[in-house]
Amino acid sequence: MKILIAGGAGFIGINLTAHLLHNYPKDAVYILDSLRPEFKQPIDKYSERNNFSFVEGDVADKEVVKNALSEIIPDVIINAVNTHNHNNTPEAIYLTNYYLLEAVREQQIRLHRYILLSDDEVYGDTITVEGNVHDAQENDRLNPTNPEIAALAGADLLTTTYFLKYKIPTVVLRTANIFGDYQNTTRLLPNLITHAINNEDIPIYGDGKHTRDWLHISDLCELLSKIVQEDLPQINGETFNIATGLAHTILETTEMILTILNKPKELISFVKDTTPGVQRKVLDIEKSSEILNFTPPNDFNEKLKQTIEWYQNHTDFYDESRR
């Protein structure tokens, strides 16, 4: 099987590549992406294997995408373009997905599966101004709150139409907050971790009661490999929320990090939240639990410890990703 990860030279793609190469050595894994400095080392390491190829190019370039697909003729495409990379414009986020799907259609590639990694932010807030709480379900109205996520919401909906009209076997995964090794330190959890490691003040905006569901990258990789490897015709054209179903406030998460590192709570500094973001991002996971049999373990504290240890041992990575 030939697996193409578009936007794979990033946090999710690097971890997924390692998982696939280790567990499915007979499969060929291709990454199509531009190469950022902090990911050169793992890409170079994988390139020593004869079942891995790195195709350097802009995934938002139509000709690059067409040429890559015609040369590779993949069995599976995973669109892992990172909406939180500051270089990804709304245009690039939407067009990458469109160009990939169009290339599959135009070249009549007989895919086993096309997977779009979407995001829980497409739902907007899961708490109303009146304080009513609602775990977002797959059929809820999308309510993105910034241009990049609005573009992703459009790509999300577009993907399903390619199944409805052209029978391309698509699956959309709307994921909770993913964390783990190789995540850029501009993202919330590694930002908290590296500040604590370096004994730097940790700014908490507002009262710290913003609520998030944290899903470890290893659990996402396990699910993705299942969707890639198994037949599962019942999931074609479907959208799934992928999360743990367990929520933690930012303040609670920060205190857990400080406890693990044996650092004082005084590192926390509360900052006035001048641009309030999404207060609560929590997903209903009944559908993914029933159809995908996906129920990740309740081991956030243990996975958090592992992630902290990784950043302690890889200061070269987070120094590079902070630039």
> What are 226-246's pLDDT values in tens digits?
999 999 999 999 999 999 999
Per-residue confidence (pLDDT) for residue 206, from 0 to 100: 87
Q: For the structural domain made of 2-181+214-245+280-300, what CATH number should be given? A: 3.40.50.720
Beta-strand pair 248-249/211-212? antiparallel
**Which pLDDT score, from 0 to 100, does residue 100 have?**
98
Distances from the Cα of 55 to the Cα of 13, 58, 225, 307, 319, angstroms: 13, 10, 21, 29, 26
pTM over 0.75: yes
Q: What per-residue confidence (pLDDT) applies to 320?
A: 58
Instruction: Region of 208 please: left (phi>0), alpha (psi -120 to 50) or beta.
Output: left
Q: What is the mean pLDDT of residues 52-67?
A: 96
pLDDT of residue 227: 98
Rounded to 5°, the CA angle 238-244-245 comes to 90
CATH number for the domain whose boundaries are 188-209+247-277+314-321: 3.90.25.10
The band of 279, judged by pLDDT with boundaries at 50, 70 and 90, is confident
pLDDT tops 60 at residue 321: no
User: pLDDT confidence of 261, banded at 50, 70, 90?
Assistant: very high
What pLDDT score was predicted for residue 83?
A: 66
**What percent of the chain has pLDDT above 90?**
82
* pLDDT band of 176, cuts 50, 70, 90: very high
Domain boundaries, the chain: 2-181+214-245+280-300, 188-209+247-277+314-321
pLDDT for residue 284 is more than 90: yes
- Say if residue 146's pLDDT is above 60: yes
pLDDT of 134 reads 87
Give the per-residue pLDDT at 303. 97
What is the rounded average pLDDT for all residues in the chain? 93
Region 76-97 average pLDDT: 87
Banded pLDDT at 129 (limits 50, 70, 90):
low
pLDDT score, position 86: 60
130 pLDDT exceeds 70?
Answer: no
Q: Taking a C-beta distance cutoff of 8 angstroms, is the pair 3, 52 a contact?
A: no
Average pLDDT over residues 245-261: 96
Is residue 177 within 8 A of residue 281, CB to CB? The reply is yes
CB 103 within 8 A of CB 159: no
How high is the pLDDT of residue 219? 98
